[in-house]
Structure 1
Amino acid sequence: MNFPEYAGHGGGVPEAQTRGQFIKAAYSYLAVAVLLFAVLSFGLYASGASFAMLKMLGASKWAWLGVMGAFMVVGWLATNAADNSESNSVQMLALGGYVVAEALIFAPMLAMASIIAPGAIQAAAIATLALVAGLTFTAFTSKTDFSFLGGFLKIGGLVAIGVIIAGVLFGFKLGVWFSGAMILFAGACVLYDTSQIIHHYPADRPAGAALHLFASVALLFWYVLRLIMSLTGNDD
């Protein structure tokens, strides 16, 4: 694959080669992160920990808020470390910690899916991979720099968090339409992060770039899975 030249440099061959190496490294880290997430998720499911977590969270609506709050803090710490540290080891540690956090927050959802919608996890995984592949192809083959999406995504993310918190506090269900909207939002995040990797993300931080893209892919998988569960009519 021919990679575009790194925006902000003079367009010489060395910069283009460096950018290409960075992109390959970032996607290598992403592949390892996805594999680690799959292994951890399977381990939590096979050990019964996923079902224990589902039972614990089902006991109180406040438990989900606590998990979401903790996850946001972990996400902020991980991305901050990956974006600002010059140490590759720290960046890799941040990526690994974030993957572990994602596996833990997904654990009860995967347990629920296995109960109410057998086969939903596999279907969601395939659909997510197909969507990510399509968005990646679009970003790499299009001449468009999708950085302009950044401002819209920040606002959309805040609105989504507000709706989720309101849903937990006031007990209304976030159904098919919300999941659909969040799939569009997560897809835009994947497109934005891919464009950042191609054009703008610092070339000395491939693990950090992989962390951002992994977070967007995980968000997409979460809401694709929720949508499939909702369509069964059993996602209570």
Structure 2
Amino acid sequence: MENSFNQFDNDRVLIAQSTEAERVEFYKKTYAHVAGGVLLFIIFEFLLLQSDALVNFMLSMTQGYKWLLLLGGFMLITNYAESTALRTTDKNLQYMAYAGYIFAEAIIFVPLIAIVTKFMGGEGMALLQQAGIVTLTLFAGLSSIVLITKKDFSFLRSAMTIGFFIAIGLIVAGTLFGFNLGLWFSVGMCALAGGSILYQTSNLVHKFTTEDYIPAALGLFASLMLLFWYVIQIFLDRD
């Protein structure tokens, strides 16, 4: 996610040009909002899973072209939420965009979490806990690399764009022709998610202003959830 408005607002200070205290405060706010997003996602997911009708409907949407329609709708919501958070300085609108995106993530996760928890029982809960620990560990490690080294990973943007288009093509082909993308696809998507975390964290250091902690958190949260999805898939394929 690229910051598109800070260059037009002279009252805003780029993180790269701010004081050490301002940078630390910005990082605290950003990661607090990421943590808040994770907590809100868990609440949304818990409430959504209480409805058997919704769970059954979402499971039915994973079949054939319906899954492609669902993914397409999710991508539209993602683009709208990101563009809204970036193009406005109104904190209320930014929070609404962030909350809306978190809810969309919770919806898209319903069939996967339902399969793991409702059909695998206690083993499913253990799998989710393990996947969560692995995801958070990788996220923290990758973010630390950027925050410590201050390296600019913006060069990853082109490679990630190509990678995501290839991934979308494979998902469409797999859905239409009924073949399983398998373990190595999930590994490749984890690598893409890792690259996205590096890129988004790099934006924290080099692209955003001191007031952009909400869009910054949204970008990091999106990368975190992508990584979580495919870490779960790897655990499922392993079992």
Tell me the TM-score normalized by structure 1.
0.88
Give the Cα separation in 1 of the matches to 2:53 and 2:134.
26
Q: Map of 1:149-164 to 2, 5 A cutoff?
A: 149-164=156-171
Structure 1 runs of 4+ aligned residues shifted over 6 Å read: none
Aligned residue number for residue 83 of structure 1 = 86
In the alignment, does 2:15 pair up with 1:6? yes
Aligned residue number for residue 37 of structure 1 = 41
2:210 aligned counterpart, secondary structure: coil
Give the Cα separation in 2 of the matches to 1:136 and 1:67.
30
Aligned residue number for residue 193 of structure 1 = 200
In the alignment, does 2:108 pair up with 1:105? yes
| Kept in 1: contact 2:15–2:204 (CA 8 A) | no
In the alignment, does 2:55 pair up with 1:51? yes
Tell me the TM-score normalized by structure 2.
0.87
Give the Cα separation in 1 of the matches to 2:59 and 2:73.
19
Q: Residues 109-168 of structure 1: CA distance to partner in whole angstroms, max 9, x if unpaired?
A: 101122246222111111101111111221112242212111111111111111111111
Give the Cα separation in 2 of the matches to 1:48 and 1:140.
43
Compute the RMSD of aligned alpha carbons.
Answer: 1.7
Q: Residues 20-66 of structure 1: CA distance to partner in whole angstroms, max 9, x if unpaired?
A: 322221111111111000111122223435632344225x3111111
Q: Residues 201-229 of structure 1: CA distance to partner in whole angstroms, max 9, x if unpaired?
A: 23222111111110000000000001111
Q: How far off its partner does 1:16 sit?
A: 3.7
| Kept in 1: contact 2:15–2:209 (CA 8 A) | no
Q: Percent of aligned positions with the same letter in both sequences?
A: 38
- Consecutive unaligned residues of structure 2, counting only runs of 5 or more, are 1-13
Count of aligned pairs between the two proteins:
222
